[in-house]
A and B are shown apart, each in its own frame.
Chain A
Amino acid sequence: MIEKLRSYGIVGVFGLLFVVLAISSPSFLSWQNAANILDQSSILFIMATVLTLCIIAGIFDLSVAATATASAIMTVNAINAFGMVLGVIVGVGFGGVLGLLNGLGIVGTNVNSFIGTLATSFAFRGLGLILCSGGLVGITNKDTATAMRSAFEGKFLGIKGAIYIALIFSAIVGIFLSRTIWGRNVYAVGGNAQAAFLAGIRTNRILISCYVISGIGAGLAGMIYAGRYGSGATNAYSDTIAFTAIAAPVVGGVSVFGGSGSIWRGILGILTFALIGNGLNLLGVDTTYQLTALGLLIFAAVAADQVFRRSRG
Chain B
Amino acid sequence: MNSSTALVRVHELTKTFGATRAVRSVSLSFTEGEIIGLVGENGAGKSTLAKMMAGVYTADSGTIEFNGSEVSFRSPFEALRTGVAMMAQEIMLVPDATVIENVFLGSTPRRGILPNKSKMRSDFKDLLELTKFELDPDAVVSRLRLADQQKVEILRSLSRNAKLIIMDEPSASLTADEVARLHATIRELARRGVTILLISHFLEEVLDLTTTTIVMRDGEVVKVGPTKDETIDSLVAGMVGRSLETRYFDTDSAATHKVRFSVDGLTNSSLHDISFEIHEGEILGLAGLIGAGRTEIARAIFGADALESGTVTLEGEQLTVSSPRDAIKQGIYMIPESRKEEGLILEASISENMMLSTLKRYRKGGSLSARKLDKRAVELAGQVDLRYSKIAQSALSLSGGNQQKILFGRAVEVAPKVLIVDEPTRGVDIAAKRAIHQTLLNLAKSGMSILFISSEIEEVLGVCDRVLVIHQGKVQAQFTAPFDQQQVVAAFFGQTSGVKND
User: With A179-B367, A191-B346 in contact, do A201 and B356 touch (Cβ < 8 Å)?
Assistant: yes
A139 to B325, CA, bound (A): 48
Chain B residue numbers with a CB within 8 Å of A194 are 341-342
Pairwise interchain contact A259-B336, C-beta atoms closer than 8 A: no
Q: Does B344 contact A (CB under 8 A)?
A: yes
Pairwise interchain contact A199-B302, C-beta atoms closer than 8 A: no
Query: How distant is A174 from chain B, measured CB to nearest CB, in Å?
Result: 12
State the interface size on chain A (CB cutoff 8 A). 21
Q: Does A200 contact B (CB under 8 A)?
A: yes
Chain B minimum-CB-distance residue to A202: B325
Pairwise interchain contact A199-B347, C-beta atoms closer than 8 A: no
Query: How distant is B365 from chain A, measured CB to nearest CB, in Å?
Result: 9
Residues 197-227 of chain A, each 1 if its beta carbon lies under 8 Å from chain B, else 0: 1111110000000000000000000000000
Pairwise interchain contact A179-B341, C-beta atoms closer than 8 A: no
Pairwise interchain contact B304-A198, C-beta atoms closer than 8 A: yes
Total residue contacts A-B, CB cutoff 8 A: 74
**Which secondary structure dominates chain A's binding surface?**
helix
Query: How distant is A261 from chain B, measured CB to nearest CB, in Å?
Result: 10
Pairwise interchain contact B360-A181, C-beta atoms closer than 8 A: yes
Pairwise interchain contact A201-B341, C-beta atoms closer than 8 A: no
Chain B residue numbers with a CB within 8 Å of A259 are 345, 347-348
User: With A198-B324, A200-B357 in contact, do A181 and B345 touch (Cβ < 8 Å)?
Assistant: no
Chain B residue numbers with a CB within 8 Å of A187 are 345, 347-348, 352
Contact with A191, one of B323, B345, B357, B360 (Cβ below 8 angstroms): B345
Chain B residue numbers with a CB within 8 Å of A200 are 323-325, 327-329, 357
Pairwise interchain contact A188-B345, C-beta atoms closer than 8 A: yes
A195 to B353, CA, bound (A): 10
Contact-residue bracket for chain B = 20 to 34
A196 to B356, CA, bound (A): 8
Contact with B357, one of A179, A180, A199, A260 (Cβ below 8 angstroms): A199
Query: How distant is B418 from chain A, measured CB to nearest CB, in Å?
Result: 14
Q: Does A192 contact B (CB under 8 A)?
A: yes
Q: Does A312 contact B (CB under 8 A)?
A: yes
Query: How distant is B368 from chain A, measured CB to nearest CB, in Å?
Result: 6
Contact with B356, one of A179, A188, A202, A260 (Cβ below 8 angstroms): A188
Pairwise interchain contact A198-B342, C-beta atoms closer than 8 A: yes
Chain A minimum-CB-distance residue to B410: A199
Residues 328-368 of chain B, each 1 if its beta carbon lies under 8 Å from chain A, else 0: 11000010100001111111100010001101100100111
Q: Does B378 contact A (CB under 8 A)?
A: no
Pairwise interchain contact B347-A184, C-beta atoms closer than 8 A: no
Chain A minimum-CB-distance residue to B364: A179
Chain B residue numbers with a CB within 8 Å of A202 are 323, 325
User: With A180-B367, A180-B368, A181-B363 in contact, do A199 and B356 touch (Cβ < 8 Å)?
Assistant: yes
Query: How distant is B396 from chain A, measured CB to nearest CB, in Å?
Result: 7
Chain A residue numbers with a CB within 8 Å of B342 are 192, 194-195, 198
Chain A residue numbers with a CB within 8 Å of B347 are 187, 191, 259-260
Chain A residue numbers with a CB within 8 Å of B324 are 197-200
Query: How distant is A110 from chain B, measured CB to nearest CB, in Å?
Result: 15
Pairwise interchain contact A312-B341, C-beta atoms closer than 8 A: no
Pairwise interchain contact B359-A192, C-beta atoms closer than 8 A: no
Q: Quick one: which of B56-108 are within 8 Å of A by CB?
A: none
Pairwise interchain contact A312-B396, C-beta atoms closer than 8 A: yes
Sample (9) of A-B pairs whose CB atoms are under 8 Å apart: A184-B359, A188-B356, A191-B345, A191-B348, A194-B341, A195-B341, A198-B302, A200-B329, A200-B357
A-B complex: 4 closest residue pairs judged by Cβ atoms:
A179-B367, A191-B345, A200-B328, A199-B356
